[in-house]
Amino acid sequence: MSLVQIAALLGVLFGVGCVGLAHQLLPSNPDLGGALDRLAPGRSLAAPLPARAFQEDVSASAKLGLWLMRHAPWLMLGKTPEADLDLLQYPVHRFYAAKVEYGLLGLFAPTLLNLVMWLLGLSSSLPISVLASIGLAVLFSIMPNQSVAARAAKARKTFRWGLIAYIELVAIERAAGSGARPALEQAASMSDSWVFRRIAEELSRSRWAGESPWEGLTHMGNRLQLDALVDFSEVMRLSGEEGANIYEILRNRAASLRTEIVNSDLGDATAQTQKMSLPIGGLFLVFGALLMAPVMLRAVGM
């Protein structure tokens, strides 16, 4: 490889490093007014965040995502997982930007590889490079969807465990003589975990909106696809509107939800064990073939 090619390769690597370093070091300026608007109690959490909440975000990623939301949502290759993003509190415009950034990475990866091969004096096929760029761009653009779905699944499982503790605390408050709303709000204030904070935020929103607490929790459960929260809010509705004996009902609901989670975990563990049986069986077959090979070779006279 000539000195010119070595210098060009070092220049490319240095340029990529400088761009990455600048991206990490440049500060961002979030919009304080938009943040205060999103924290306002009277604001519906289900409503989409306005574009002005991100106008002061000077990062290139935020500007790209905001532009896509306005002008080219059809580039996202599929439905936006709004429930998962809301559960994770991950802005939609950031999700849009991540999909495009990953897609561009997949699009230009074969081009960079071809450049490195050219600098090394190797040849490459242009049609194969073009097809690889398109395929990797589509594949990489799907990666944020898979990442968000996996994180949301873990968050929903964590929420269910947190909801069990919350139901137990509500049952204790109700047994002590508290009303439906005071019991819900007092129980939500007993922990600083994100599960309790989200419930407390929804209860505060429902109070300022003039809704009953179970209506707010039902709305939150449907929006975030949390079936256990919807069931719990229905139980609280019965206790608030019909005066049902709620203590034992809540304790039984918590125990039932705990059993459901344990059975689900056992089913997942069984499925993972069954998946492992195939590679383990193949390993034993290979090991047996290695042991039998000398005997078979002697039998055929080799």
Whole-number pLDDT of residue 133: 79
Whole-number pLDDT of residue 271: 75
Helical (H) or strand (E) element with 92: helix 92-119
Tens-level pLDDT at each residue, the chain (302 residues): 555 555 555 555 556 555 555 555 555 545 445 455 545 444 433 334 444 444 445 566 667 667 777 766 666 656 788 899 999 988 888 888 888 888 888 888 777 777 767 666 666 666 777 787 788 888 888 888 889 999 999 999 999 999 999 999 998 988 888 888 898 999 999 988 999 999 999 999 999 988 889 999 999 999 999 999 999 988 888 776 555 567 888 888 888 888 988 888 888 777 777 777 777 777 777 777 777 777 777 777 65
Whole-number pLDDT of residue 286: 75
**For residue 5, which amino acid is it?**
Q
Can you read off the two tokens belonging to residue 237? 């509705």
Angle between helices 194-209 and 180-188 (to 10 degrees): 140
Q: How many CA atoms lie within 13 A of 8 on its CB side?
A: 13
Can you read off the two tokens belonging to residue 267? 């089913």
pTM for the structure as a whole: 0.67
Q: So where are the chain's domains?
A: 39-152
